[in-house]
Structure 1
Amino acid sequence: MRMRTDQGEAQVPGTHEAPGVRVDVYVKPGDAQRALRAEALQGLCHAPKELSPKWLYDERGSQLFDDITRLPEYYPTRREREILHAHADDIARLSGADTLVELGSGTSEKTRLILDAMDAAGQLKRFVPFDVSEAFLRKAAEGLAREYPGIAVHAVVGDFEQHLGRLPGGGRRLIAFLGGTIGNLKPAQRALFLRELSSGLRPGDGLLLGTDLIKDRERLFAAYNDSAGVTADFNRNVLRVLNRELNADFDPEAFEHLAPFDEHNAWIEMRLISRKAQSVWIGDLEKRVDFAAGECLRTEVSCKFCREQVQEELRDAGLDLAAWWTDADGDFALSLAMKR
């Protein structure tokens, strides 16, 4: 999942803000460490072995993923940007929003296209970037406040699996959840997420959702198994995170990266496959984890969609599809859904 984990210190809400910026902090010091310990205990000590993709995204992992988005095989980022270039004005007009909320905002690079369109239409009053990394978010929020001096920037440091209810209300809001991140949630998780998000919206609020579409299997495989090995390095990075944060002794090179397409579930499945029988010590858990030769550790799923599925899942959450846009090749989609 395109999420970062913050290993830094959390600050008290409302402190050290730049002019024009408010920052609410809901991620407490030690939250990430406690969550990683609990998940490693559950996910590594039972079969089948699995970890959340959020642990891929420390500073190094985030940089590696940024490198992935520039690879020739990895199309989603380019295709989504293409749609935003073509339809940002339509998004602003149809949503009628005066507040843009971005989940997993990062640098908000693509979101600037929507901000610019809303600003040009005279609609933009407030931007709410939501991310888990406080230091990263504060820096980004200050930059956005300088770029858009006439608007309020209300940043929220939180985990969207826990803190959706903390999103600030008021105004007519458009929630942007881009990058295909929704696909990193399995169906039951996705349904819960959409219901929770929808329950916090008022009639007239909207959701702009990015989804990767089902396509030629060879192209899907190539996007997650690039020839330069960047995705393999990114995938193994989770083992480096475990070594650093939990005093484990994984040898990343003892695991092979593979990301096949699962036809039954319609998702890409990122795997680390043990090259040999091996035993790993996780010091902070005081646990030894055994891997058989060929045993898999699943680190991410990335679901692929069709329009009918997206529309049905949105409808089940109380959201009506208002617009559907794809790139010229039909690789990726942005859907605008409105709260009933």
Structure 2
Amino acid sequence: MPQVGDSVIREKLAACLRSDPKTLPSMYFYDHRGSELYEEITKLEEYYPPKIEIPLLRSTARKLKQELKDCDLVELGSGDCSKISVFLDEIPEEIRQTIVYYPVDVCKDSIEKSACNLQNKYPEMGIHGITADFLEHIEKIPGKRKRFFCFFGSTIGNFTEARAMEFMADLGKAMNENDRLLLGVDMVKDIDIIEKAYNDRQGITAEFNKNILKVTNDHLGTDFDPEEFEHVAFFNREHSRIEMHLKAKDDLEVASPILDEKIIFKKGETIHTENSHKYTVEGIKRMAGAAGLSVENIFSDDKKWFSLVEMVKR
């Protein structure tokens, strides 16, 4: 994909691989194959979040439907807009026709395709896609009417703790009085359950993790062989997060025609590819405090494994 490998991406990836410890940003999991693998992951017996979040979205939408009347519904990191569809299906048409939906995502093609599909499904609703990195360009989101922000899928759990607090603070500053946020978070639970979700028996998550090396090859021209690395995922108790790594099976040298020096790996050295933080109620309240928001409701499944948190700017 040479057309995608612009200098900014190449510089970012090169810097991550030269860092100590080595890292790769989790956004680079998602080329076409990565997206296919993630879809397979969501169907795995061990991977619990979608199985809980989808019915929770339905029940929460029914409870919050009056809050959505005459508002701008803003979904951050909207992707294929599948989750907002589940949510909107539970909102009566007479309320939907008062809503303007703004999907926000960095991928223009995804935004345009999703907006078209949603407009066909909900012709009574105004839909205006915004192509932007919401982490950097929150100011692009219109703010004349009351807004209801959605950030689903526990995506915030992929941020570092510091970045999550910074993001929440920035979002809080951009929100107006009485704007609301519905935030998806994966909760702390039995560690064995969490670790199994990222170490499935079929090895799909391992293949997904290794696929980031193929994406890096596409961008940097590196000669990574994914089979020379082992998938490692474990719960870090100190930071309350799952960490995913790729561990070199032997001493390795990785070359690229656009890098001056080879990337050297010692046997057992890892590339840190993803974090997935798990939250407690106290942690949720700290995030809300960083944003200057009040926690109105925490909607959870019966086991309290996953939550949708309603916050409001007062």
* Total equivalences in the alignment: 313
Deviations 1:315-339 (A, max 9, x none): 2211110111111221100000001
Give how far 1:94 is off.
4.2
- 1:14 is aligned to none
Give the Cα separation in 2 of the matches to 1:220 and 1:121. 41
- 1:289 is aligned to 263
Q: Given the alignment of the two structures, is residue 133 of structure 1 paired with residue 122 of structure 2, yes or no?
A: no
Kindly report which structure 2 residues correspond to 1:56-75, keeping only aligned pairs within 5 A, or say none. Answer: 56-75=29-48
Give the Cα separation in 2 of the matches to 1:100 and 1:236. 36
- 1:53 is aligned to 26
Identity among equivalent positions (%) equals: 35
Deviations 1:59-85 (A, max 9, x none): 211111111111000001111112112
- 1:301 is aligned to 275
Give the Cα separation in 2 of the matches to 1:279 and 1:69. 34
Give the Cα separation in 2 of the matches to 1:95 and 1:315. 23
Contact residue 92 and residue 114 of structure 1 kept, 8 A: no
Give how far 1:96 is off.
5.0
- What is the RMSD of the two structures over their aligned residues, measured on CA atoms? 1.7
Q: Given the alignment of the two structures, is residue 203 of structure 1 paired with residue 177 of structure 2, yes or no?
A: yes
Give the Cα separation in 2 of the matches to 1:266 and 1:121. 43
Q: Given the alignment of the two structures, is residue 158 of structure 1 paired with residue 158 of structure 2, yes or no?
A: no
> Aligned with 1:260: secondary structure?
strand
Q: TM-score, normalised by structure 2?
A: 0.95
Give the Cα separation in 2 of the matches to 1:272 and 1:330. 31
Contact residue 210 and residue 335 of structure 1 kept, 8 A: yes
Contact residue 183 and residue 302 of structure 1 kept, 8 A: yes
Give the Cα separation in 1 of the matches to 2:56 and 2:31. 29
Task: Supply the AA of the counterpart residue of 1:248.
Answer: T
- 1:246 is aligned to 220
Contact residue 91 and residue 114 of structure 1 kept, 8 A: no
Q: Comparing 174-183 with 80-89, which one deviates more in the overlay? A: 80-89
Give the Cα separation in 2 of the matches to 1:200 and 1:271. 35
Give how far 1:121 is off.
5.4
Q: Given the alignment of the two structures, is residue 89 of structure 1 paired with residue 62 of structure 2, yes or no?
A: yes
> Aligned with 1:73: secondary structure?
coil
Give how far 1:95 is off.
5.5
- 1:106 is aligned to 79
- 2:238 is aligned to 264
- Consecutive unaligned residues of structure 2, counting only runs of 5 or more, are none
Contact residue 128 and residue 153 of structure 1 kept, 8 A: yes
Give the Cα separation in 2 of the matches to 1:235 and 1:181. 17
Q: 2:192 aligns with which of 218, 225, 228?
A: 218
Contact residue 279 and residue 289 of structure 1 kept, 8 A: yes
Q: 1:187 aligns with which of 156, 161, 164?
A: 161
- 1:23 is aligned to none
Give the Cα separation in 2 of the matches to 1:338 and 1:67. 35
Give how far 1:167 is off.
1.4
- Consecutive unaligned residues of structure 1, counting only runs of 5 or more, are 1-6, 10-29
Give the Cα separation in 2 of the matches to 1:94 and 1:142. 25
